[in-house]
Amino acid sequence: MIVVWGAREDPPVADVLDALQERGADVTHLDRARVDSLDFDVTLGPAPAGWIAVDGHRIPLDAISAIYLRPESPRGTATPATTCLMALASSLDAVVVNRPAAGRSNSSKPYQLAAIAAAGLTVPPTLVTTDARAAGEFLDRHGRVVYKSISGIRSIVATLGVEDAGRLSGVSTGPVQLQQWIEGIDVRVHVVGERWFATAIESAAADYRYAATTGHEVAVVATDIDDELGERLVRLAASMDLLVAGIDLRLTPDDAWVCFEVNPSPGFTFYEDATGQPIAAAIADLLMKR
């Protein structure tokens, strides 16, 4: 039994469900309504035991071979059912994409950058500060910088040039991460187990995800990366205990790779729809390995 936990309206959840059903997998879908009405009798520990009941049908825990989860944001405090499911996703002997704790590095972008660098990948010069003077010196040194949130909360990436130095006084209100602007082509690599799918994105927008809101166009095409880089990215994801990850890189004009971050729950359908890459199918295959 494969459990998929998330809203059918969430494109990655829908695509993974479709891919599993096309393969004839034994799959149970848990959306918010079904989770809220979930019954369970579970003993937690190194080897969880018991059952969960969906629509009155009991599923023994030892029958669950895999879990794919992109749960909806909880309404208020977590319910006993969601707490139980999170605990099972953390400890059950199953293929889990991805275990809740595996995404912990994404909660701190500076920490994650250190992990990326430790894996042997180049990261951009970075400053995290609340000191406007230090921020100004960093901007003077690099000429153009990117600023973003240091947390895992999704934010719009924006840039500053030397003409914007006066805006740096705002860093005193809370820590901000500044990075040297890196020229080049954006490449998103989705790692799925030991496979990878690389997508090149060309856009004049500082953050191509929001190109339309700034009047810019975006071109998204499948591309190739060499095996050495692909295997290194697989190892990077594995070092973070991620079976599936979306890794953001940039290829510079002198053919150097710079890595920015690792997304532990990637919304891969934007890239899949644009390129035809079988990312959902690869995730389904991974979930069916047991």
Q: What's the chain's average pLDDT?
A: 90
Kindly state the average pLDDT of the residues 175-185.
91
Which CATH number goes with the domain that contains 136?
A: 3.30.1490
**What's this model's pTM, rounded to 2 decimal places?**
0.89
Whether 245 and 271 share a structural domain: yes
Whether 115 and 248 share a structural domain: yes
In the chain, the percentage of residues whose pLDDT exceeds 90 is: 71
Whether 108 and 247 share a structural domain: yes
Whether 12 and 70 share a structural domain: yes
- Whole domain around residue 136: which residue ranges? 126-180
Whether 6 and 17 share a structural domain: yes
- Characterize the bridge pairing of strands 49-54 and 39-43: antiparallel
Report how far Cα 36 is from the mean position of its chain's Cα atoms.
26
pLDDT tens track for 106-120: 778 888 999 999 999
- Characterize the bridge pairing of strands 2-6 and 66-70: parallel
Nearest to 63 by CA among 94, 99, 25: 94
Contacts of 130 (CB under 8 A, 6+ apart): 171, 172, 173, 174, 175, 176
Nearest-angstrom CA–CA distance, 146 and 161? 9
Whether 158 and 226 share a structural domain: no
DSSP E strands in 19-93: the ranges are 27-30, 39-43, 49-54, 57-60, 66-70
209 neighbors 222 (Cβ within 8 angstroms): no
In the chain, the percentage of residues whose pLDDT exceeds 70 is: 91
For 153, the 3-state DSSP assignment is coil
Domains held by the chain: number: 3
Specify the DSSP element, H or E, that contains 148.
strand 144-148
Whether 15 and 138 share a structural domain: no
Whether 243 and 136 share a structural domain: no
Kindly state the average pLDDT of the residues 196-225.
74
Describe the chain by its helix, strand, coil percentages, rounded to 5: 40, 30, 30
Pairwise pLDDT comparison (159 vs 24), residue with the higher score: 24
